[in-house]
C-alpha cells in the first residue's frame, strides 16, 4: 500500500487529472502533474507541476524519480518515452496505452478476445478504401487510426467520393461499418493490484456533435440486457492487459447484442456521475487501485442519476445551473469557454 504523503504522478493536465488529483488529496497523497499545456487545470489543484513536452526525456525522468506511482489521464501520451522509465511505477502499464492509441490495433485486440466491433479494415490508400466498401458496404465511417477524440478525425461516407484521396493518404485510417444502434453505453470497471474487479452501473450515454452530452441512470432495458456480455468482455480486456486502475469500454446496444466501439485506459467522462451518484467514485477508486488500497463500493446511491456536460460558454451561466438546489456543479477551471470545449458538468441524484 502506498504510504500517506507519497507522490502520485499524473501524465496529462486536463479535467480528468484535476478530479483524480482531488481524490488523491482526499486520501492523503501528493500529486505531481506532467503536462505540456500552457495552462493545466490539473496542475491548478496539485502541489507539483512539470510543464514540458512528452519528448523532453530528462524532464520526464526527473518527474518519474519524484513520483512513487505514475498514472495517465490522457491516452495519447507517447509510449516510447515511457518505456525508458521504471515500469514498476506505471499503473496502468504502457501496453494499455499502446492498444488504445490505435483504433486498428484496439479493434483487432478486442476481436481476438471474442468481442464484436463494427466491421473494420485498415485504410492506407484509396484502393484499401474501395476494397473495404466492396466488402462491408456503406454507410460507413472512416476514422484516423490515432489521435481522434470527441468525433474529431472522422468522416461519415456513403461512397469513396465523400472523402478526398489526399485525406485518405495523409494519415493511417480505419474503415468502420456504420452501426445502427438503440443506445450507447459504457462499462467502467476498476481492477485492483490483486486482480479484484468491480463495475459501476452502465448509464445511457447520448452524444451531440460527437461529444458526450448526457449520462443517465437508469439506462433503457436493452442496455441492461447487454451489460453482462459487455462486462465480461471488458474484464477479459483488463485481465489480458494486466490492468490496474479504472478502464472504460464504450458499446453500442444493437439488436444483435453489444458492439464494442472503443476503450479508454483511464477514467471517463461517462463516469463523472459516480462522484455523487455512487458510493465510491471512479476517481477515488482509480487512486485506491494504483495505490494498492482496498477498492471502494461501486454501487449507485440512487436509481436515478443524471449527468449533463457543460460544453462551451453555457458553462458559465452559473446562477441558472444552481437555480436547482440539488444540482452539483463541477467547473474545471478552464479560463476560455470555446465552442465545443468541455468546461464542466452537473450531476443530479435521485
Nearest distance in Å: CB 155, ligand AMP = 11
User: Which one of residues 10, 21, 123, 141 is an interface residue with ligand AMP (CB under 6 A)?
Assistant: 141
User: Which one of residues 4, 114, 137, 210 is an interface residue with ligand AMP (CB under 6 A)?
Assistant: 210
Nearest distance in Å: CB 187, ligand AMP = 14
Nearest distance in Å: CB 84, ligand AMP = 30
Q: Do the annotations mark residue 178 as ligand-binding?
A: yes
Q: Do the annotations mark residue 269 as ligand-binding?
A: no
Q: Which is nearer to ligand AMP, 148 or 277 (CB)?
A: 148
Q: Which is nearer to ligand AMP, 162 or 239 (CB)?
A: 162
Q: Which is nearer to ligand AMP, 53 or 167 (CB)?
A: 167
Nearest distance in Å: CB 339, ligand AMP = 18
Residue 206 · residue 213 · CB < 8 Å:
yes
Q: Do the annotations mark residue 153 as ligand-binding?
A: yes
Nearest distance in Å: CB 143, ligand AMP = 6
Q: Which stretch binds ligand AMP (CB under 6 A): 64-72, 172-180, 188-196, 230-238?
A: 172-180
User: Which one of residues 178, 193, 199, 224 is an interface residue with ligand AMP (CB under 6 A)?
Assistant: 178
- Give me the residues paired with residue 71 across strands: 10
Q: Does 121 bind ligand AMP (CB under 6 A)?
A: no
Restricting to residues 91-120, name those near ligand AMP by CB under 6 A. 118
Q: Does 207 bind ligand AMP (CB under 6 A)?
A: yes
Residue where the block lists cell 447484442: 257
Q: Which stretch binds ligand AMP (CB under 6 A): 12-20, 178-186, 188-196, 272-280?
A: 178-186
- Give me the residues paired with residue 250 across strands: 186, 262
Alpha-carbon dihedral sign for residues 331, 333, 336, 338: negative
Nearest distance in Å: CB 266, ligand AMP = 14
Nearest distance in Å: CB 181, ligand AMP = 7
Q: Does 47 bind ligand AMP (CB under 6 A)?
A: no
Number of residues engaging ligand AMP in binding (CB under 6 A)? 13
**Cβ neighbours of residue 30 closer than 8 Å, sequence gap 6 or more:** 5, 6, 7, 8, 24, 46, 47, 48
Residue where the block lists cell 498514472: 71
Cross-sheet strand order for the sheet of 154-157: 120-123, 173-177, 140-144, 154-157
Restricting to residues 223-262, name those near ligand AMP by CB under 6 A. 250, 261-262
Residue where the block lists cell 453505453: 185
User: Which one of residues 176, 201, 284, 308 is an interface residue with ligand AMP (CB under 6 A)?
Assistant: 176
Residues 223 and 180: their CA atoms lie apart, in Å, by: 14
Nearest distance in Å: CB 43, ligand AMP = 27
Footprint of ligand AMP (CB under 6 A) = 118, 141, 148, 151, 176, 178-179, 184, 207, 210, 250, 261-262
Show binding-site residues for ATP.
103, 143, 148-154, 176-179, 184, 207, 261-262
Show binding-site residues.
103, 143, 148-154, 176-179, 184, 207, 261-262
Amino acid at each position: 500500500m502506498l504510504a500517506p504523503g507519497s507522490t502520485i504522478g499524473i501524465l496529462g493536465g486536463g479535467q480528468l487529472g484535476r478530479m483524480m488529483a482531488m481524490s488523491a488529496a482526499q486520501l492523503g497523497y501528493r500529486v505531481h502533474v506532467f503536462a505540456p499545456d500552457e495552462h493545466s487545470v490539473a496542475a491548478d489543484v496539485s502541489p507539483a507541476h512539470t510543464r514540458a513536452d512528452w519528448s523532453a526525456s530528462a524532464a520526464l525522468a526527473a518527474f518519474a524519480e519524484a513520483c512513487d506511482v505514475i498514472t495517465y489521464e490522457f491516452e495519447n501520451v507517447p509510449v516510447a518515452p515511457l518505456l525508458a522509465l521504471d515500469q514498476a511505477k506505471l499503473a496502468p502499464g504502457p501496453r494499455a496505452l499502446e492498444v488504445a492509441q490505435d483504433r486498428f490495433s484496439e479493434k483487432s485486440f478486442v476481436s481476438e478476445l471474442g468481442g464484436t466491433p463494427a466491421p473494420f479494415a485498415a485504410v492506407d490508400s484509396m484502393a484499401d478504401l474501395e476494397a473495404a466498401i466492396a466488402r462491408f458496404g456503406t454507410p460507413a465511417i472512416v476514422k484516423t487510426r490515432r489521435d481522434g477524440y470527441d468525433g474529431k478525425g472522422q468522416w461519415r461516407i456513403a461512397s469513396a467520393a465523400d472523402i478526398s484521396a489526399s485525406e485518405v493518404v495523409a494519415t493511417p485510417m480505419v474503415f468502420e461499418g456504420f452501426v445502427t444502434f438503440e443506445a450507447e453505453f459504457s462499462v467502467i470497471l476498476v481492477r485492483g493490484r490483486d486482480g479484484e474487479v468491480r463495475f459501476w452501473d452502465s448509464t445511457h450515454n447520448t452524444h451531440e456533435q460527437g461529444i458526450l452530452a448526457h449520462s443517465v441512470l437508469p439506462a433503457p432495458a436493452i442496455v441492461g440486457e447487454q451489460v453482462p456480455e459487455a462486462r465480461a468482455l471488458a474484464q477479459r480486456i483488463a485481465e489480458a492487459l494486466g490492468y490496474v486502475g479504472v478502464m472504460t469500454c464504450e458499446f453500442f446496444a444493437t439488436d444483435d447484442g453489444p458492439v464494442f466501439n472503443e476503450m479508454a485506459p483511464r477514467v471517463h467522462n461517462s463516469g463523472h456521475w459516480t462522484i455523487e451518484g455512487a458510493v465510491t467514485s471512479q476517481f477515488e477508486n482509480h487512486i485506491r487501485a494504483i495505490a494498492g488500497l482496498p477498492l471502494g463500493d461501486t454501487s449507485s446511491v440512487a436509481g436515478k442519476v443524471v449527468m449533463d456536460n457543460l460544453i462551451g460558454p453555457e458553462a458559465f451561466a452559473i446562477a441558472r445551473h444552481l437555480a436547482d438546489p440539488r444540482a452539483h456543479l463541477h467547473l474545471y477551471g478552464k479560463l476560455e469557454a470555446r465552442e465545443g470545449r468541455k468546461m464542466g458538468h452537473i450531476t443530479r441524484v435521485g
